[in-house]
Amino acid sequence: GFIFQTFNLFPTLSAEDNIALSLTMRGVPGRTASQRAGELLNQVGLWHRQELLSTVVIDPNPAPESGPDPLVATGALSKSMEVAAHVLNANLGLRVVTVGWGDFDSHASQTSMQGQRMLELDEGIRRFYEVLAPEWGDRVTVMTFSEFGRTSWANAAGGTDHGTAGPMFLLGGGLRGGLYGQAPSLTNLDNGNLKYTVDFRSVYATILESWLGAPADDVLGERFERLPLLAGAVQGRASQALAGVR
């Protein structure tokens, strides 16, 4: 498979040059590297943006658009999600695609920051499904995760600090809808932190085993509760699943 990591791209190079450079460093002759880079961009449906892909992926503060364009993503996350959808549409055999984005480290002015991030998340997911080919709709599951939650109290800067519990979102045609877990208490705390009611590793275990068809206990090192996240027909096919993108 192929992995586009934004921190490994050079913003002064075109998308084709970024890909060709990595091939050249592996000993591939220059002309051959450029040809292969062009073939890859064409394969994932991004040949028409060969001069723009590096900016599309890594620009954290894109210039304002003159108006909405249904064919062009406008935010940093939307642009990365658009690329992810193109890669999946190309059917390269990828099982997992990750998109890093943030930050949510709201130590100050959390009220305005959180609202803006939610708008960006909404736009990114919308753009992903706009670009994703219809035949992949029930074969792709989207999951959000973060490395930490937030505290239950506000600090002097109008923000929150690093905490324990936090939400996760899952989307896809093969999922059961609903809320799993309970709303955290603001009075029954663990050393001032929210108490989680669903272990995030239970979510991982369920997706690993029931969607990816992977040995979750071996991957996670111990057994965690499985959650009824998947629809019945999908759950029944889980033992035959070899990839997250089926």
Instruction: Please compute the mean of the pLDDT values over residues 122-137 and round it to a whole number.
Output: 92
pLDDT computed for residue 169 by the predictor: 92
Give tens-digit pLDDT for 5-57: 554 555 556 667 767 777 776 777 777 877 787 777 776 666 555 444 433 33
Instruction: Please compute the mean of the pLDDT values over residues 236-242 and round it to a whole number.
Output: 39
pLDDT computed for residue 243 by the predictor: 34
- Three-state SS at 102: coil
pLDDT of residue 234 exceeding 80: no
pLDDT of residue 128 exceeding 80: yes
- Residue 19, beta-bridge partner list: none
Q: What is the DSSP letter of 175?
A: B
Instruction: Please compute the mean of the pLDDT values over residues 170-194 and round it to a whole number.
Output: 89
CB 94 within 8 A of CB 1: yes
pLDDT computed for residue 118 by the predictor: 85
pLDDT of residue 230 exceeding 50: yes
- Amino acid in position 82: E
Higher-confidence residue of 43 and 128: namely 128
pLDDT computed for residue 126 by the predictor: 93
Least confident of 19-28, 83-92, 158-167, 205-214: 19-28
- Residue 150, beta-bridge partner list: 162
pLDDT of residue 220 exceeding 80: yes
Higher-confidence residue of 215 and 2: namely 215
pLDDT of residue 196 exceeding 60: yes
How many CB atoms neighbour CB 6 within 10 A?
17
pLDDT computed for residue 13 by the predictor: 61
What rounded mean pLDDT belongs to the chain? 77
pLDDT computed for residue 37 by the predictor: 76
Using only the alpha carbons of the chain, give its radius of gyration.
20
pTM, two decimals, is 0.66
Higher-confidence residue of 199 and 243: namely 199
Q: Percentage of the chain surpassing pLDDT 70? A: 73
Give tens-digit pLDDT for 59-76: 344 444 444 444 445 578
